[in-house]
Structures are given as structure tokens and as C-alpha cells.
């Protein structure tokens, strides 16, 4: 939007100068219209209006592209961290207390990182926030399963803990992690697709710029120079 306003302002200044110049020529040389200057004025009006409208129409798409791939890269990192967390949880369960302490610390570090990566940024839309919230709900289920698993192992219920870790039903680690991970993958793919679409929209909105206006204004400037200088004698 800033560029649209800047182009509109510059076009208005140029238009004002050309109108002033046309008036001065008419007053000093007693001719109502200079065709070359009139043509240049028309070109400035056309470029200013078309450019301002195009940039305004594409402003939202350009602004959205400004977010870049950052949301997708955060989610891609979250997916990798989640896989590491699930692996450290499994290692903790099969290791003895000495090795398990390190696995538990690693799990805590990884889930802390996940808490940060799974939070939407301040520019997320309402639809994106709903998708992030869906992922967060499934992530909390996985964390609840982990709490249950650790409670069972600490109580010596190894067989029941193994069932919770490996079975594929709601409330079991394997299933709830799969549910969380696939939902996270869908969100990440949606962010990537959204970026690609917004980039394409922004490119389409600005198609032909600045080549077209530069060509039009350049041609008008040449015509003004060629048209005014030879005809100055006509105004005397």
C-alpha cells in the first residue's frame, strides 16, 4: 500500500507540473494546446491510475508474501523435533534409570522447543489460528499419554506401560503421536501451499510492472522532446 500511495503522489506531482507547463505555453505563445505535452499528460494520468489501482489490488497479496516461508519452516522444524521427542520417549521406556535420566531430560528439552514452534505468529489469520489450535489439542493428547506412560513405569507396571506405548488406539502413545504428527504435516503443507498461492497472486497483480509504465512514460518523454522543440517558433 505504501508503494501505491507513493506512485499516486508522484503521479499527481508530475501531472500538476505538466498542466502548469501546458498553461504556461498557452499563455506565453498564444496556443491553446501543445499536442506533445497533452500526450505526455495523458500518459502520466494513465500510468498513475493503472499503477495505483494495480498496487492497491495486489497490496494484500504482497503483504502476505512478506511473511515468507517462516511459518512453514517453523512447522517443518516442529515435525522433526516431534519425531526426536517420540524417539527419546521410547528410549526412556526401555532404558534403565541411569540411561533413562538422560532420555527424560532430552524429552523435556525437545517438548519445550515444540511449545514454541507450535505457536502461531502474530500475523496468522483466524483460519490459520484454528488449524494451529487443532494441532495443539492433539499435541496435548500425546503429552497426556506420555505422563500416563511415565506414571506406569515409575509404579512398576511395565506390561501396561508397554501397551500404552505401542497400541494403536485413542489414549495410547503410538496412535496419539501419529494423530498429532499427521495433523501437523497437514498444517505445514497448508502453509507452504498458501505461500505459493500468495506469491503467484502477487506476481500476477504486478505483471508487466515496471516495464509497461516505464515504456509508456519513456515514449511520452521522447514525444514531448521531439514535439516541443521544433514547434516553439509556432508560439511566437
Residue 66: inside a domain, yes or no? Answer: no
pLDDT, residue 58, reads 58
Residue 21: inside a domain, yes or no? Answer: yes
d(CA 198, CA 62): 7
Are both 112 and 222 inside the same structural domain? no
Residue 148: inside a domain, yes or no? Answer: yes
Are both 105 and 152 inside the same structural domain? yes
Do 180 and 75 touch, CB atoms closer than 8 A? no
Indicate the range of 16-25, 73-82, 143-152 predicted with least confidence: 16-25
Are both 155 and 47 inside the same structural domain? no
Residue 65: inside a domain, yes or no? Answer: no
Q: Cα dihedral angle (70, 181, 94, 98), rounded to 10 degrees? A: 20
Strands (E) located in the chain: none
**How much is the average pLDDT of 194-201?**
80
Residue ranges making up the domain that contains 27: 2-58+206-235
Average pLDDT, the chain: 81
pLDDT, residue 67, reads 61
* pLDDT over 60 at 20, yes or no: yes
Are both 14 and 89 inside the same structural domain? no
* pLDDT over 70 at 29, yes or no: no
Tens of pLDDT, residues 55-87: 665 555 555 555 678 899 999 999 999 999 999
Are both 121 and 185 inside the same structural domain? yes
* pLDDT over 60 at 39, yes or no: yes
Residue 63: inside a domain, yes or no? Answer: no
CB atoms within 10 A of CB 29: 14
Are both 120 and 210 inside the same structural domain? no
Residue 29: inside a domain, yes or no? Answer: yes
d(CA 58, CA 140): 39
Are both 160 and 117 inside the same structural domain? yes
Indicate the range of 14-18, 70-74, 161-165 predicted with least confidence: 14-18
Are both 84 and 193 inside the same structural domain? yes
d(CA 228, CA 36): 7
Residue 67: inside a domain, yes or no? Answer: no
**How much is the average pLDDT of 90-98?**
90
Are both 33 and 148 inside the same structural domain? no
Are both 26 and 93 inside the same structural domain? no
Are both 230 and 146 inside the same structural domain? no
Are both 193 and 143 inside the same structural domain? yes
**How much is the average pLDDT of 119-129?**
86
Residue 191: inside a domain, yes or no? Answer: yes
How many domains does the structure of the chain reveal?
2
**How much is the average pLDDT of 139-164?**
95
What percentage of the chain exceeds 70 in pLDDT?
Answer: 68
Q: Which residue has the higher pLDDT, 4 or 129?
A: 129
Best CA proximity match to 213, nearest among 62, 48, 55: 48
What percentage of the chain exceeds 90 in pLDDT?
Answer: 43
pLDDT, residue 159, reads 94
* pLDDT over 60 at 191, yes or no: yes
Best CA proximity match to 29, nearest among 229, 236, 225: 236
Write b or e for each residue in 64-93: b if 16 or more Cβ atoms lie within 10 A of its Cβ, otherwise e.
Answer: bbebeeebbebbbebbebbebbbebbbbbb
Residues near 227 by Cβ (< 8 Å), separated by ≥ 6?
34, 35, 36, 37, 39
* pLDDT over 60 at 168, yes or no: yes
pLDDT, residue 108, reads 95
Amino acid at each position: 500500500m505504501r508503494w501505491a500511495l507513493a506512485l499516486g503522489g508522484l503521479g499527481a506531482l508530475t501531472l500538476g507540473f505538466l498542466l502548469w507547463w501546458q498553461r504556461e505555453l498557452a499563455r506565453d505563445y498564444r496556443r491553446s494546446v501543445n499536442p506533445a505535452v497533452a500526450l505526455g499528460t495523458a500518459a502520466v494520468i494513465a500510468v498513475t491510475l493503472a499503477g495505483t489501482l494495480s498496487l492497491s489490488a495486489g497490496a494484500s497479496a504482497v503483504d502476505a508474501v512478506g511473511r515468507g516461508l517462516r511459518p512453514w519452516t517453523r512447522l517443518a522444524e516442529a515435525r522433526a523435533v516431534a519425531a526426536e521427542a517420540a524417539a527419546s520417549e521410547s528410549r526412556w521406556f526401555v532404558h534403565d534409570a541411569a540411561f533413562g535420566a538422560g532420555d527424560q531430560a532430552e524429552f523435556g528439552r525437545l517438548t519445550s522447543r515444540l511449545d514454541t514452534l507450535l505457536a502461531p505468529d502474530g500475523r496468522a489469520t483466524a483460519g490459520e489460528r484454528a488449524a494451529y489450535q487443532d494441532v495443539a489439542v492433539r499435541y496435548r493428547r500425546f503429552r497426556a499419554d506420555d505422563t500416563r506412560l511415565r506414571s506406569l513405569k515409575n509404579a512398576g507396571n511395565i506390561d501396561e506401560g508397554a501397551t500404552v506405548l505401542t497400541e494403536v488406539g485413542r489414549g495410547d502413545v503410538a496412535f496419539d503421536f501419529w494423530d498429532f504428527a499427521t495433523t501437523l504435516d497437514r498444517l505445514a503443507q497448508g502453509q507452504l501451499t498458501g505461500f505459493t498461492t500468495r506469491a503467484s497472486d502477487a506476481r500476477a497483480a504486478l505483471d508487466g510492472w515496471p516495464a509497461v509504465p516505464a515504456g509508456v512514460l519513456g515514449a511520452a518523454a521522447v514525444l514531448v522532446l521531439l514535439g516541443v522543440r521544433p514547434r516553439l517558433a509556432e508560439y511566437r
